[in-house]
Structure formats: structure tokens, C-alpha cells
Amino acid sequence: MQIIFIIEQNAHLSLAIWEYIWYNIIMKKDIYKINDNDLTYGRGYVYSLQYHIVWCTKYRKPVLRNGLDDDIKGMLLQLAEEYSFTILAMEVMPDHIHLLLDCKPQFRISDMVKILKGNTARWLFMEHPELKQDLWGGHLWNPSYCAVTVSDRSREQVTRYINSQKEKA
């Protein structure tokens, strides 16, 4: 109601100004706070890409326990920093890993998973050579994985699901 009064009082203003006022007041947009959202801004692009990724140990062997789960979490955080992606949620179970990632559009998800699985396997076998005895053929990870896109609406639900994994076990 107050806006209609302002419009009537200032009918002489151009249509472009009224469109600007409508967009920024009615639509509750503030050009000075445009970065206060869940989007990531790069040079020439804006994105919001989250993936829920799950992969398993070979033959679902429960070898990721007794401190190895914490070691893998640390390694995954280092990889996130090195490759400039964000881990929004993470849980390492004895036989699989859940990650919720936010990454740049330049990363193909298959390349991201290859980096994560390859680096963690190489590092774990160097630090814990006894793992090869528990795994047939000396492979830590199953070659497959699951990657699901996550929307702004479902991100909180996926985060709660990942964080509750240890409670279910």
C-alpha cells in the first residue's frame, strides 16, 4: 500500500526507475548483498553444484576402522583443499564412504571420484601396508561408485543422513 502511494506521488519518474524499484524492493533484492546466498561466484560464471558420493571397499570388507576412518577423513580434507572443492558433510563407515561435495563446474564428477579414490588408496597402503593382507588382490576400493546431485532443497536432508550414518551402525 505504501509503495502505491509513493508511485502516485512520483508519477514523473521514468519507467526504468520504477522497474528498478519494483525489482529491488518488491522482489526483496539488494544489489549490495547479492553474494549473501549459496551460489559460488567465479570469473564469468555462477554455480551451485553439490554431489552426494558414496563408494565402497572391495568386497565390502569392513577395514576402515580402528583409526583408519579418522585418517581417511584427514586425507579427504587435504584433497579438498588441494583441488579447491568443499566437503559439506562426510562420514567414513567400516566398508564405505559418504561425501557431500560442493565443487566447481570444471570438475567432471568421474575425475573427482578417481582423484579421491586413487589418492586415498595409495596413501592408506603406504601408511598401513597390513591392509593388503585383508583385501584380495591388493585393491582397496570397489571400482564403482554412486553420485547423486543435491539441490538446495534437499541439501539439509542429505547432510543429516550422512551425519547420522555412524548412529545407525
Indicate whether 137 and 161 sit together in one domain: yes
Residue 88 forms part of a structural domain = yes
Encode pLDDT of 116-164 as tens digits: 999 999 999 999 888 887 777 778 999 999 999 998 788 889 999 998 9
Please give the tally of structural domains in the chain.
2
Q: Which residue type occupies 80?
A: A
Selecting among 23, 45, 47, 161, the annotated active-site residue is 161
Q: Are residues 17 and 53 in the same domain?
A: no
Please spell the DSSP secondary structure of 38-92, one letter per residue. Answer: S-EEETTEEE--EEEEEEEBGGG---S-TTHHHHHHHHHHHHHHHHT-EEEEEEE
pLDDT value for 149: 92
Q: Specify the pLDDT at position 32.
A: 45
Q: What is the pLDDT of residues 60-119, one digit of tens each?
A: 999 999 999 999 999 999 999 999 899 999 999 999 999 999 988 888 999 999 999 999
3-state secondary structure (DSSP) of residue 137 = helix
Least Cα distance to 102 among 52, 55, 145 occurs for 52
Does the annotation mark 83 as catalytic?
no
Contacts of 98 (CB under 8 A, 6+ apart): 52, 53, 54, 89, 90, 91, 161, 162, 165
CATH number, position 122: 3.30.70.1290
Considering the domain architecture, whether residues 88 and 55 belong to the same structural domain is answered as yes
Please state the pTM of the whole predicted model: 0.73
Q: Is residue 40 part of a domain?
A: no
